[in-house]
Structure 1
Amino acid sequence: MQTSDLLNQFATIVGAENLLTSDIDRSFYGTDVYRSGELAAAVARPETTGEIQALVKLGSEHDMAIFVRGGGASYTDAYTPSRPNGLIIDSGRLKSIEINETDMYVTVQPGVTWEELDDALKPKGLRAPFWGPFSGIAATIGGSVSQNSLSHGSGVYGCSAESVVSMDVVLANGDILTTGSASHQKTSSNFFRFTGPDVTALFTGDAGTLGVKASITLRLIRRRQYQGAESFSFETFDAMKDAMAEVAREGLADENFALDPALQQGQIARQDSGAIFNTAWEVFKGSSNPVSGAVTLTKMAAAGRDFLKKGAYSCHFLVDGVGQGEVRARATALREICMKYGVVIANTVPTVVRSMPFAPLFNILGPQGERWVPVHGIMPYSVASDFHKAWVELVAREQAMMDKHGITLGGMFSTMSTNAFLYEIAFYWPDERSIYHNTVLPDDHLKSIPAYDQNPEARAYMDELKNKAIALYGEFGAVHFQIGKAYPFLSTRKPEAATVLKQLKTNFDPRNVMNPGALGF
């Protein structure tokens, strides 16, 4: 069948207005934060599970590669087409939310953002255990579950996958696979995940290579009404890491993140006055009452941003509780731990994060308009110090080339549950904005920061440096979220594991049309 005939059939499925074929649309939907993929034949925007089934079945029958796009906040080629003339399925119209307060779960379509879900749950006093990444204003639940992510709630409840109960997944042949308790022939209840082999787990972090998520069910918990925020400064990486590890083992902080001197002096301390005013307004709106908001703003103004400019690591914790007594007890225990390694500083940063957990995507460009891309590795605490030393040595070897091309970097760190340490490196370099930046970011923000000409030499070296960082993570056995097509996966598995994974891929997607190239397939 000719492509034009195939596109006509796709248009019949979703409606002509929801099949995008212009060069601009195909380019935008095929570009992520870092770079563009091959040009797709079309972008389809389904609204129902039946439409997803029909699109996938038709595309697969004609060997058309299928790439599923969530909120678009990837920087690892997660959904960018690896083959020309494929079909991009955009989840932007898949917005259903069904809340079951009795059995404590919520079922959503994959295009629901974390902010939209939180807005729906908040009036009911509920939340998901993991309730979204910092990019949750755009990041979708389907994308986060497909790629795995962390941030809000991860200090106690782990990553996004650990809050998933079940899914409905459209396979390459158009069939729907239901996982968890809802797969029982006599019930459709999504109340429980772990019954027999954990089929749900196969589709968490699969990068859309095994199927298209049609619905996702998350476990719910009661939202804690009392919160506290604590911040500390540490002179060395090891002191910061040891404090974070000890806090994590005690399960004291629902959320945590730390910044190295370069990142806090760059991305945060160099924000313009307009961004600071907007942040202050969000903090005031998020306060429990006007008096509390005024007190918080006064403390923030007094603290200023001087602590961000000092050459030290800062770490920030958010503590939730059923009452102020619990918050105080946990915060006291947290302080006792951290003050063995560092000193207390103003809690401005976590206060801002709690007031606006899903901030605008301004950080997809640097504070001076630079291009931005992060890489990360997740490792045990026992490995983190050795990795840090090796990374510092690598940067020293590369410093001359980095200076030549105007490349700067910074680090962010976090713990997940009791047992994992995230080491993330953010790179910045002067280069032309892409269609992604120019479409996603508001004009007033783009006008407020510098713009750069194309910089192919810096871009090429940036790609080389990024790959060196990824290789170093591999030397220390680090693992990754958001694997996409950027991190090696299948090639790094032991033979037995690789064989099983290949068999699963062949069974679910025999024509290899589901996001080919992702995870190394």
Structure 2
Amino acid sequence: MSDADQIETVDTPQSAPVLQTLGSIVGLQHVLTGDDDRAFFSQDVFAQGKTALAVVQPHTTEELADVVKAVTSSGIAVFPRGGGMSYTDGYLPSVEKAIVMDTSCMNKILEINEEDMYVTVQPGVTWAELDRALEVKGCRTPFWGPFSGRFATVGGSMSQNAVSFGSGTAGPAGDSVIGFEIVTANGDVLKTGSGGSEFGVPFFRHYGPDLTGLFVGDAGALGVKAAITLRLIKRLPVIMSLSYNFENFDALARAMCAVAREDVATEAYGMDPVLNETSLGRAEETPVTAKLMSLLAVGRAGRGPIDSLRQMSRVVMAGTSVFKNVEFTAHFSLEGLDRAAAKAKATRLRQAADPHGTEIANTVPQVFRAMPFQAMNNIILHPTGMRWVPCHGILPFSHVMPFHEELKSLYESYAEKMQRHKVIKATMYTTTINGFLYEPIFYWEDQRELFHERVMDAEVLQHMTEYEPNPEGRALVLEMKNTIIDVFHKHGAIHLQCGKVYPLLRNRNSAAVAVLRRVKDQVDPDNLMNPGALGL
């Protein structure tokens, strides 16, 4: 987009006046109407939505409110976008008359209050940026980001809800938020939590009914997040990591559930044999410079020169062998005020895990904690270049094995089709407080999209295979995803990042659904805020 006096109109002449209005609010250079920009912002990791009329990039709450009001008053729908790491159609336009609201330019940390222990950020701040700012002050948020936190934004994660770093003991992202500033469909700014009054300070979430919770995991269907306030906690100085190998899934699940009940592991995640093999491929293909960066990061995380050398030596000695000759693996991180406190937690963890598996080198969790937010090269494509998409469900511990057995039967019924259409499966597992997140992952040979070309490093892409289009494989993956979601539903699973994929309203209590619909009608009476999200 150039700094021309007029914005190039797209699709319909009727869109021209509103695009000019948006240009006057945010600046012409922040209204993107080029074909590539509109296509990129209208797709996610897996799918392509309808191509938006334009992409708008506000910088302030005032600009955001003015943009939303101008767009919706013209009968055009708003689709809020954070870091773009969705795979559930979260921000994908579902109607022809659509504007994508790119919040990446709202990227300021507004306040770090070390006395009252909260931090307020704009929605486009990434978790990596927030972590760097808080690290120097010796604090962090209880949940402090997903694995994709180099790109994933605080606003996007709150709209999706997410788990990863800190989730073992602190729960998902929404459990760490205190309050929001939300721009609703008519341009009003709604404030939640203790900061929502004239003399309020945003230090506490609860004051009467929990309005903050309404906007956690809403996929932007109830409004656009303009500011997010999160609770702060002190960083504990000692970090310990443990890893285990298990002969089968049953042993892994029993161990991970037992450890979760002890409430000692800030992170707990597991991998099946296919994912371990995939991780080996990634490790062997990682450039030497990146390996050195990982090693130095492990060293910096040490508690002094001697400890740093010891940790680095262990990583070097283990190398990629941690992914060889293993079946199902689980990796745990824990924190302590001092070494004695951390060792006491490690003892409890071992007591829970030892009956089920064998302790192995802890290289994986060490590197993950030392370099928590890595490039998306390691996530959104298979090392060979195959396409990637996961789905997930969070199950009560008692439902994990019945779900797993039914899923095994389902995979057996699809085995011939998967082989024919070049689809392979893997699985990742996570525990978050008292829930077991089961995440089937699919890889299949298929062409890359513009999304991958923009998000991944060109140097990495040039070493990957470029596959021919495989619509049959893509359709099979979609069919299997939807079938697995049905199985999750049958076993009482819940989902994060509902977007337009997970069946939030299916078989829900009718009174609760009625309340949710009334809330939607109040804040978005014309259904112009991410229509279709949450099934609304």
Same fold (TM over 0.5): yes
Deviation at 1:233, TM superposition (A): 1.0
Name the aligned partner's letter for residue 100 of structure 1: N
Name the aligned partner's letter for residue 414 of structure 1: T
Q: Is 1:416 aligned with 2:432?
A: yes
Deviation at 1:96, TM superposition (A): 1.6
Asked whether the 8 Å contact 2:50–2:93 carries over to 1, the reply is yes
Asked whether the 8 Å contact 1:269–1:309 carries over to 2, the reply is no
Cα 1:166–1:123 change in 2 (3 A) is same
C-alpha distance in 2 between matches for 1:488 and 1:447: 38
Q: Which residue matches 1:379?
A: 395
Name the aligned partner's letter for residue 446 of structure 1: L
1:354-365 equivalent positions in 2, closer than 5 A: 354-362=369-377, 363-365=379-381
From 171, 188, 197, the counterpart of 2:184: 171
TM-score (norm 1): 0.97
Q: Which residue matches 2:169?
A: 156
C-alpha distance in 2 between matches for 1:369 and 1:404: 18
C-alpha distance in 1 between matches for 2:271 and 2:287: 19
Deviation at 1:355, TM superposition (A): 1.0
C-alpha distance in 2 between matches for 1:196 and 1:23: 47
Can you give the 5+ residue segments of structure 1 that lack an aligned partner in the other structure? none
Deviation at 1:392, TM superposition (A): 0.8
Q: Is 1:211 aligned with 2:219?
A: no
SS at match of 1:415: strand
Q: Is 1:274 aligned with 2:269?
A: no
C-alpha distance in 2 between matches for 1:404 and 1:293: 49
Deviation at 1:463, TM superposition (A): 1.1
Deviation at 1:276, TM superposition (A): 6.4
From 262, 266, 272, the counterpart of 1:250: 262
Per-residue CA shift, 1:252-280, capped at 9, x if unaligned? Answer: 11111011111111234453343465144
Asked whether the 8 Å contact 2:268–2:333 carries over to 1, the reply is yes
Q: Which residue matches 2:121?
A: 108
1:380-419 equivalent positions in 2, closer than 5 A: 380-417=396-433, 419=434
Per-residue CA shift, 1:266-301, capped at 9, x if unaligned? Answer: 234453343465144223234235654443233223
Deviation at 1:488, TM superposition (A): 1.4
Deviation at 1:229, TM superposition (A): 0.5
Q: Which residue matches 1:509?
A: 524
SS at match of 2:157: helix
Q: Which residue matches 1:464?
A: 479
Deviation at 1:307, TM superposition (A): 4.2
C-alpha distance in 1 between matches for 2:447 and 2:374: 24
Asked whether the 8 Å contact 2:178–2:229 carries over to 1, the reply is yes
Q: Which residue matches 1:352?
A: 367
Q: Is 1:180 aligned with 2:193?
A: yes
C-alpha distance in 2 between matches for 1:373 and 1:460: 12
From 450, 458, 461, the counterpart of 2:465: 450
Q: Is 1:23 aligned with 2:35?
A: yes
Q: Which residue matches 1:370?
A: 386
Q: Which residue matches 2:208?
A: 196
C-alpha distance in 1 between matches for 2:313 and 2:373: 23
SS at match of 1:414: strand
SS at match of 1:426: strand
C-alpha distance in 2 between matches for 1:469 and 1:279: 36
Q: Which residue matches 2:250?
A: 238
Name the aligned partner's letter for residue 515 of structure 2: V
C-alpha distance in 1 between matches for 2:325 and 2:403: 24
Q: Which residue matches 1:120?
A: 133
Deviation at 1:311, TM superposition (A): 4.9
C-alpha distance in 2 between matches for 1:381 and 1:38: 39
From 134, 145, 152, the counterpart of 1:132: 145
Q: Identify the range of structure 1 (261-270 vs 215-224) with the bigger mean alpha-carbon deviation.
A: 261-270
Deviation at 1:104, TM superposition (A): 0.3
Deviation at 1:357, TM superposition (A): 0.4
Q: Is 1:84 aligned with 2:124?
A: no
Q: Which residue matches 2:156?
A: 143
Please report the RMSD computed on the Cα atoms of aligned residues, expressed in angstroms. 1.4
Deviation at 1:95, TM superposition (A): 1.3
Can you give the 5+ residue segments of structure 2 that lack an aligned partner in the other structure? 1-12
Name the aligned partner's letter for residue 338 of structure 2: G
Asked whether the 8 Å contact 1:283–1:351 carries over to 2, the reply is no
SS at match of 1:168: strand
C-alpha distance in 2 between matches for 1:246 and 1:373: 29
Count how many residue pairs are aligned between Structure 1 and Structure 2.
Answer: 519
Q: Which residue matches 1:295?
A: 310
Deviation at 1:434, TM superposition (A): 0.4
Q: Which residue matches 2:272?
A: 260
Deviation at 1:222, TM superposition (A): 0.3
**Structure 1 consecutive aligned stretches of length 4 or more whose deviation exceeds 4 Å:** none
Q: Which residue matches 2:7?
A: none
Q: Which residue matches 2:297?
A: 285
TM-score (norm 2): 0.95
C-alpha distance in 2 between matches for 1:387 and 1:280: 41
1:302-321 equivalent positions in 2, closer than 5 A: 302-321=317-336
SS at match of 2:351: helix
Name the aligned partner's letter for residue 135 of structure 1: S
Q: Which residue matches 1:430?
A: 445
Q: Is 1:39 aligned with 2:55?
A: no
Q: Identify the range of structure 1 (282-291 vs 399-408) with the bigger mean alpha-carbon deviation.
A: 282-291
Name the aligned partner's letter for residue 59 of structure 1: V
Q: Which residue matches 2:8?
A: none
Per-residue CA shift, 1:79-115, capped at 9, x if unaligned? Answer: 0101113111101110121101110000000000000
Per-residue CA shift, 1:227-263, capped at 9, x if unaligned? Answer: 1010011112122111111211111111110111111
C-alpha distance in 1 between matches for 2:213 and 2:367: 34
C-alpha distance in 2 between matches for 1:462 and 1:250: 37
Per-residue CA shift, 1:144-199, capped at 9, x if unaligned? Answer: 000000000001100000000001101111111110111133x2300101110000
